[in-house]
């Protein structure tokens, strides 16, 4: 009996050693394969140049997330599960059923984020190559949720966290719009190669504890080769309600594609509702031809979020100036849209004027 037990124990030890060895070999193969994919794209797009990033072992990721403890999940969207790890976010993707090619989205995001250094873009900390799909580790800047949650779910409980989001005041909305405009202008003009985000929308804008905005969600972004003004793509990707008409219809992608998407975000920031809901309310159930066909400056000014109207926060002149910027961004013809640098300058001017008005009003109140 004792001999039998010893034999079983010995067999279990051999099995465990083989499993560890096989897992180690598998980990090494994955690490080598994913590292090569990353370097190949890095060289192809940016001559191998990148900002310093940390290379994590899988054991570190498992320890930091307590083996992917559900209690640490801060976001669950589509194939993404995001876990909080101290001041970092671990982004674990499960592309089961999506095909091997899905890994290219992660490599693409990794390559582009390794080039970016902007205060209003989610910062890449590092990556783990030892898993089937590389795991990204980014800074934690989600304390106050996403812009979508703050606009669409005002004062409502979000998920199972019993969190009540406070409505964003007009001044904060202007600042957030300005911050994201700066980030997109940076992508288009100041990165080592112009980058089109392709998926600018409120769910991809996160807010930290001070409501400072960061642009995230770079898996669909595409660098535009130097000297080229646009790309013609066969596969249309992105979020339908935010797609520019020329891109949705023919696959023509340029920096003005992002300008259109950002214009839709500006509309949602002011109205506090999804563009699709606004379209339906205005009798347009198909927005593939663009938003401009039913949304005018006058219409937009009459659709201000009830929260802002009740607070009496919005100055009429600044409202019209903001509406002008939003409408210019969603022009059906891409040549009629401004550049993101122009948009950022206009929004910054509106925001600073709002700050001056707020300061002036505060002084008047003190004198009374």
What pTM was estimated for this model as a whole? 0.85
pLDDT at 140: 93
Q: Please give the domain boundaries of the chain with CATH numbers for all domains.
A: 30-139 (3.30.200.20), 147-363 (1.10.510.10)
Q: Is 35 exposed, middle or buried (0-12, 13-18, 19+ CB in 10 A)?
A: middle
Q: What is the pLDDT of residue 7?
A: 46
pLDDT at 367: 42
Contact 27, 135 (CB under 8 A): no
Tell me what pLDDT residue 9 has: 44
Distant-in-sequence, close-in-space partners of 193: CB < 8 Å, separation ≥ 6: 45, 46, 115, 223, 224, 225, 226
In this structure, what token pair is assigned to residue 183?
């980030």
Strands in 124-128's sheet, in edge-to-edge order, are 54-55, 124-128, 135-139, 88-93, 80-85, 73-77
Cα Rg of the chain (Å, integer): 24
Rounded Cα distance between 364 and 5, Å, is: 88
| Residues 62, 85: Cα–Cα separation, whole Å | 10
How confident is the chain (368 residues) per 10-residue block, as mean pLDDT? 46 46 72 84 80 91 92 78 88 61 83 92 93 91 91 57 74 96 94 89 94 94 89 91 93 97 96 80 56 75 84 83 94 95 97 82 48
The answer for 124, left when phi > 0, alpha when psi is -120 to 50, beta otherwise, is beta
Tell me the three state secondary structure of residue 160: coil
Alpha-carbon distance values, 252 to 224, 233, 235, 318 (Å): 12, 6, 10, 34
For residue 232, list its beta bridge partners.
Answer: 252
């Amino acid at each position: 009996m004792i001999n039998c037990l010893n034999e079983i124990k010995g067999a279990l030890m051999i099995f465990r050693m083989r499993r560890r060895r096989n897992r180690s070999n598998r980990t090494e193969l994955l690490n080598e394969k994913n590292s090569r994919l990353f370097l190949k794209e890095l060289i192809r797009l940016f001559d191998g140049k990148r900002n310093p990033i940390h290379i994590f072992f899988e054991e570190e990721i498992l320890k930091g997330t307590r083996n992917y403890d559900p209690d640490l999940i801060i976001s669950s969207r589509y194939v993404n599960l995001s876990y909080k790890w101290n001041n970092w976010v671990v982004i674990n993707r499960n592309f089961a059923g999506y095909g091997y090619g899905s890994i290219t989205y992660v490599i693409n995001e990794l390559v582009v984020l390794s080039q970016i250094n902007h205060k209003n873009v989610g910062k890449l900390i590092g990556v783990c190559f030892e898993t089937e799909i590389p795991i990204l580790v980014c800074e934690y800047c989600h304390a106050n949720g996403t812009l979508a949650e703050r606009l669409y779910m005002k004062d409502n409980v979000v998920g199972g966290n019993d969190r009540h989001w406070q409505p964003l005041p007009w001044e904060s909305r202007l600042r957030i719009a300005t911050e994201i405009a700066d980030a997109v202008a940076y992508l288009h003009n100041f990165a080592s190669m112009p980058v089109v985000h392709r998926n600018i929308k409120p769910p991809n804008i996160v807010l930290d504890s001070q409501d400072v905005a960061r642009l995230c969600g770079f898996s669909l972004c595409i660098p535009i080769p130097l000297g080229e003004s646009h790309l013609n793509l066969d596969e249309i990707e992105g979020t339908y309600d935010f797609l520019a008409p020329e891109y949705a219809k023919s696959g023509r992608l340029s920096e003005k594609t992002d300008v259109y998407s950002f214009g839709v975000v500006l509309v949602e920031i002011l109205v506090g509702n999804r563009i699709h809901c606004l379209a339906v309310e205005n009798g347009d159930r198909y927005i593939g031809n663009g938003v401009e066909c039913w949304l005018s400056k006058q219409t937009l000014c009459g659709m201000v979020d009830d929260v802002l109207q009740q607070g009496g926060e919005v100055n009429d002149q600044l409202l019209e100036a903001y509406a002008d910027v939003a409408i210019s961004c969603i022009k059906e013809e891409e040549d009629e849209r401004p550049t993101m640098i122009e948009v950022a300058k206009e929004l910054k001017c509106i925001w600073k004027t709002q700050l001056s008005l707020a300061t002036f009003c505060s002084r008047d109140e003190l004198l009374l």
